[in-house]
Structure 1
Amino acid sequence: MLDIVIQSRKAAIVPGFEVKRILPYQLRRMVGPFIFMDHGGPVSMPVPAATNLDVLPHPHIGLSTVSYLFSGNVTHRDSLGVEQVIKPGEVNWMTAGKGIAHSERFEDPAMLAGGELEMIQTWVALPEKDEEGEPSFMNYTAEQLPVFTDKGIWMRLIAGDAYGLKSHVHTTSPLFYLHVVLDSGARFGLPREHSERGVYIVRGSVEVNGTTYTAGKLLVFTKGSDPLITAVEKTTLMMLGGEHLGERYIWWNFVSSRKERIEQAKEDWKQGRIHLPPTDNEEFVPLPKDNSRPAGGPPPKALS
């Protein structure tokens, strides 16, 4: 049934903006290819606070970032020259491959006037054959994504395949990623197509095998189990998983199957070999010291 229950922890993305850090976790580093998961908000942002929350240009290698918003807007700019306003319900899938830099800025007038922001960002590790591929960015509107409804159940398939649905979002390994809303008392089971499966409770609570689990927890289930999940109240979930890719190293914003590749990425960023976004290149996040614990955690460490 349940393999582990992960309680989210507080982490600061920039000064004054704390998120709930779900993955990686010391006792469970990955769920399928998902190697990182943050839940930001909900937070209201008057102008002075919003301008301080901007995430300056920073690098990635060896992964895809997946940004999904419940409310608010974020402006994405990357070293490919892409400039995209990320809106609620859309999928924004950036594949770093051999290296990309991007920024995330809060520029929407409605949000600057005190509107609310809430978002989930995940990182999906790439298969070894794709780790050094060309970087790319794709935006998929909410209308392009499959939606399923039943009595008391609404779900949007963000990526992959589950419950007989298939998303057109391009992925590089077998996975599933779902946004699910349940009315109180609604029941459903996990998708059986994938061996590793997790359910993150965004808000509300669920009951599994007689135990109630509340918001901020990620429930990771054992392979082959078929639990029944019941919403105790109106509940929002993010469901994710897939097939395991093998051991990965992670440090800061870098992911790789090879420890030495992480070291190369550090030097590439210091030497400017990963280009800044052409429309956002006047400031950037410097490489942290090795004893710091930024987004990706401590110095290169194998995750599996």
Structure 2
Amino acid sequence: MNDKKILRVIPAEKVNMGGIILDQPLPASGIDQIDPFLLIHHWDSELPGGQHQRDVGVGPHPHRGFSPVTFVFKGDLQHRDSLGNDATVTSGGTQWMHAGRGITHSERPSAAMAESGGPLEFIQFWVNSPAAHKMDNAFYLPLSNEETPRIEDEGYHLAIVAGIYEGVKGPAPTLSPMTLLRGGIKADFSCEVSLPSSFNTMIYLLDGELQINNIEARAKDLVQLGQDGEAISILAKKDTRFIVLSGEPINEEVTSYGPFVMNDQTQIMQAIRDAQMGKMGILIEDF
């Protein structure tokens, strides 16, 4: 089995999203996407408490043409949408949403967390949808930590959110072939990860320090690996939490504008008109 070649190590940049400072490893300078992955945002903050839920998180907004996926690491997030879904996912859980032809949703810390305060940490990443599925019906799936299968060995664990890894199938449905993992490894331990050579693969470190195929990576680095092998060797220099995003490239044109990801500008203009006309649903939050 050949090693996957490391193409680059991308340090996350600080970005201001409506007054919220996030770490963004993707897109990065000169890198619009790593097909099929479009964006990665890492939110890590301390809520002060004493707040109303309406004043925290992200209020109702539409999406079309891709899947925004959220891995929750600390605290909780409540999802509401125009399909009538209302679910709160806590540490270790995942919010999985396929926007399809259109959906309006909000993501906020729960009312209890807004009041009590505490650490809130999550990663949201956007997965492109193939053209054939961009106008499918939208759907939402909340996954708890307990509903996410894990592989554990001495010094490390891997949770399989989507795809099949070492014979274990993740519960999240995907529209193109991919494997999505959440991992943790203790200092001085090692593990081997094997993924198809045809997949574009990334490893993002939430914290800690790893040696990946003999290349050093530190907290908030994104390691991009190529399509020339299957094997990934991971050695922990420090206790580290990480995610693995690996998928078959879709190899289609991508045109995006804000919360819409389509294949051409005409489709983007239609998405904007449809959102303005309420065709992506209406969400009125009840506080």
| TM-score, normalising length: structure 2 | 0.90
State yes or no: 1:90 paired with 2:61: no
**Which residue of 250, 256, 261 maps to 1:250?**
256
Choose 149-158 or 208-217, whichever is displaced more: 208-217
Letter of the 1:251 partner, please give it: Y
Matches of 1:6 and 1:183 in 2, distance apart? 23
The answer on whether the counterparts of 2:101 and 2:280 sit within 8 Å (CA) in structure 1 is no
State whether structure 2 residue 176 is matched by structure 1 residue 170: no
Alignment partner, residue 10 of structure 2: 6
How far apart are 1:235 and its partner, in Å?
0.5
The amino acid of 1:280's aligned partner reads: E
Work out the percentage of aligned pairs sharing the same amino acid.
27
After TM superposition, list the pairs within 5 Å mapping 1:102-117 onto structure 2.
Answer: 102-117=105-120
* 1:214 and 2:221 correspond: no
Q: What amino acid sits opposite 1:220 in the alignment?
A: Q
Q: Kindly provide the amino acid, as one letter, of the partner of residue 267 in structure 2.
A: R
Show CA shifts across 1:44-84 (max 9, x none).
33234975332111110001111111111111111101111
What one-letter code is carried by the residue in structure 2 that aligns with 1:212?
E
C-alpha distance in structure 1 between counterparts of 2:133 and 2:150, whole Å: 29
Aligned position for 2:233: 228
Runs of 4+ that moved beyond 6 A: none
Helix, strand or coil: the match of 1:261?
A: helix
SS at match of 2:274: helix
Do 1:33 and 1:175's aligned partners in 2 also have CA atoms closer than 8 Å? no
Q: In the alignment, which residue of structure 2 is the partner of 1:78?
A: 81
- Residue 273 of structure 2 corresponds to 267
Quote the Cα distance in structure 2 between the aligned partners of 1:281 and 1:100: 18
Q: CA deviation at 1:111?
A: 4.7
CA distance in 2, matches of 1:34, 1:180: 19
| Count of aligned pairs | 280
Q: 1:14 touches 1:55 (CA, 8 Å); kept in 2? A: no
User: Which residue of structure 2 lines up, in the alignment, with residue 150 of structure 1?
Assistant: 153
Q: Deviations 1:125-156 (Å, cap 9, x if unpaired)?
A: 11111101111111222222210011111110
Contact 1:45–1:117 (Cα < 8 Å) also in 2: no
Q: 2:165 & 2:30 partners in 1: Cα distance? A: 26
Instruction: Name the counterpart of 1:38.
Output: 41
Alpha-carbon deviations, 1:74-125, whole Å to 9, x = none? 1111110111112222222111111111011223424532211000111111
Q: What is residue 24 of structure 2 aligned with on the other side?
A: 21
Which residue identity lines up with residue 30 of structure 1 in the other structure?
Q
Task: Go from structure 1 to structure 2 and tell me whether the alpha carbon gap of 1:198 and 1:268 turns closer, same or farther (over 3 Å shift).
Answer: same
CA shift, 1:9, in A, is 1.3
> For residue 242 of structure 2, what is the aligned residue in structure 1?
237
TM-fit CA distance, 1:210:
4.5
- SS, match of residue 270 in structure 2: helix
Report what 1:295 is aligned to.
none
Q: Which runs of 5+ in 2 are unaligned?
A: none
Q: Aligned pair 1:69/2:75, yes or no?
A: no
